[in-house]
Amino acid sequence: MVFIEQVKRLKEENDILLVAHNYQLGVIQDAADYTGDSFGLARKVTEEEAENVIFCGVDFMAESAVVLNSEKKIIHPEPKAQCPMAAMVDMGRLRRYKKDNPDTAVVSYVNTNVETKVESDICCTSSNAVKVVRSLEQDKILFLPDKNLGNYIKRFVKDKTIDLWEGYCGTHDKISVKDIEISLKDHPQAEVMVHPECKPEVVDIAHFVGSTAGILKQASESSSKEFIVGTEVEMGHRLRKENPDKTFIFPGDPLCQNMKRITPEKVLRSMEDLRPVVKIDEKLIEKARRPLERMIKVGRGE
């Protein structure tokens, strides 16, 4: 039986909602009930009724789903699929910073572990980061861990002092102006779309900057026929499927190895066995819920 049919059978047998991030392997995206960006996935899992959720993405995404839905069984097919940027927060340093700067609001990107969220006033995703920071009454902000997304926010929020953590995403930080310019030589009419996790000089030359969902929306709404895309290469799957008459080029083919740790075999095994279930201490769930719910209330940006 082919993968998609096995998935269909198991969904019905075990009351499963299968969700996948836009960087998951195309075959997994095609089998999912919902595919989206970090914000969309967090909201979708909360809205849907299913008892069991198979979460195809990296650890922080599955953890956020648990924090927001402690009554549901959230299953992460490969616990080793972890976002290295989330691990770039030293908790001791963060707690010292908070003690020394009691008037500063801590805004954490969802690409963080639960302990970091517990220490945060509010979370954000790439789709609502500017809106979240603008929504705060404090004039001083600590944004963590992604310095590139932090620098992107600073372009729009001029009336607050924003301290940045020194974290970054290795996949996006490697995307270079030089590689984009080489592609532009071959496709001079192309529209350049990049994720805000890219370096400031890459953001400078982009026509559009947005989350993975934002990039998908822009591709379908734009009149351009060619696009140079600065984000993870698997985004090409949905972009091409939804826009068969358009061309998408990914300079350097940026790959997130962690997203690819989730394979169709592991998805099927999890759907059969309903494990591994993501477990988080109840007290941490309680404390991490507030910054995530606050973010959802502020909503998606754009």
Task: Give residues in contact with ligand 13P (CB under 6 A).
Answer: 22, 37-38, 111, 125-126, 169, 195, 197, 211-212
Q: In angstroms, what is the minimal distance from the CB of 204 to ligand SF4?
A: 20
Q: Which does 175 bind (CB under 5 to 8 A by kind): ligand SF4, ligand 13P, none?
A: none
Q: Which does 259 bind (CB under 5 to 8 A by kind): ligand SF4, ligand 13P, none?
A: ligand SF4
**Residue 300 half-sphere exposure toward CB, CA atoms < 13 A:** 16
Cβ distance 262 to 24 under 8 Å? yes
Which of 258, 264, 266, 267 is close enough to bind ligand SF4 by CB under 6 A? 258
What DSSP element (H or E) covers 120?
Answer: none
Q: Which does 212 bind (CB under 5 to 8 A by kind): ligand 13P, ligand SF4, none?
A: ligand 13P
**Residue 67 half-sphere exposure toward CB, CA atoms < 13 A:** 30
Token pair of 292 as six digits: 């995530």
Q: In angstroms, what is the minimal distance from the CB of 200 to ligand SF4?
A: 17
SS3 at position 122: strand
Instruction: Identify which of residues 74 and 149 has a Cβ nearer to ligand SF4 in the complex.
Output: 149
Q: In angstroms, what is the minimal distance from the CB of 168 to ligand SF4?
A: 9
Residues comprising the chain, all counted: 302
Q: In angstroms, what is the minimal distance from the CB of 27 to ligand 13P?
A: 19
Phi, psi of 282 (to 5 degrees): -55, -40
Determine the Cα–Cα distance for residues 138 and 104; give it in Å rounded to an integer. Answer: 7
Q: Which does 112 bind (CB under 5 to 8 A by kind): ligand 13P, ligand SF4, none?
A: none
DSSP states along 137-198: S-SEEEEESBHHHHHHHHHH--SSEEEE-SB--HHHHT--HHHHHHHHHH-TTPEEEE-TTS
Q: In angstroms, what is the minimal distance from the CB of 33 to ligand 13P?
A: 17
Q: Which does 173 bind (CB under 5 to 8 A by kind): ligand 13P, ligand SF4, none?
A: none
- Judged by phi (left if over 0) then psi (alpha if -120 to 50, else beta), residue 144 lies in beta
Which residues, listed in sequence order, are joined to residue 18 by a DSSP beta bridge? Answer: 54
Q: Which stretch binds ligand SF4 (CB under 6 A): 137-145, 167-175, 212-220, 288-296?
A: 167-175
Q: Which does 84 bind (CB under 5 to 8 A by kind): ligand SF4, ligand 13P, none?
A: ligand SF4
Q: 12, exposed or middle or buried, with CB in 10 Å at 0-12, 13-18, 19+? A: exposed
Does 235 contact ligand SF4 by CB under 6 A? no
Q: In angstroms, what is the minimal distance from the CB of 24 to ligand 13P?
A: 11
Residue corresponding to tokens 């969904």: 11
Determine the Cα–Cα distance for residues 36 and 142; give it in Å rounded to an integer. Answer: 27
Does 113 contact ligand SF4 by CB under 6 A? no
Determine the Cα–Cα distance for residues 249 and 228; give it in Å rounded to an integer. Answer: 5
Q: Which does 126 bind (CB under 5 to 8 A by kind): ligand SF4, ligand 13P, none?
A: ligand 13P
**Where does this chain bind ligand SF4 (CB under 6 A)?**
58, 83-85, 111, 169, 171-172, 197, 232, 256, 258-259
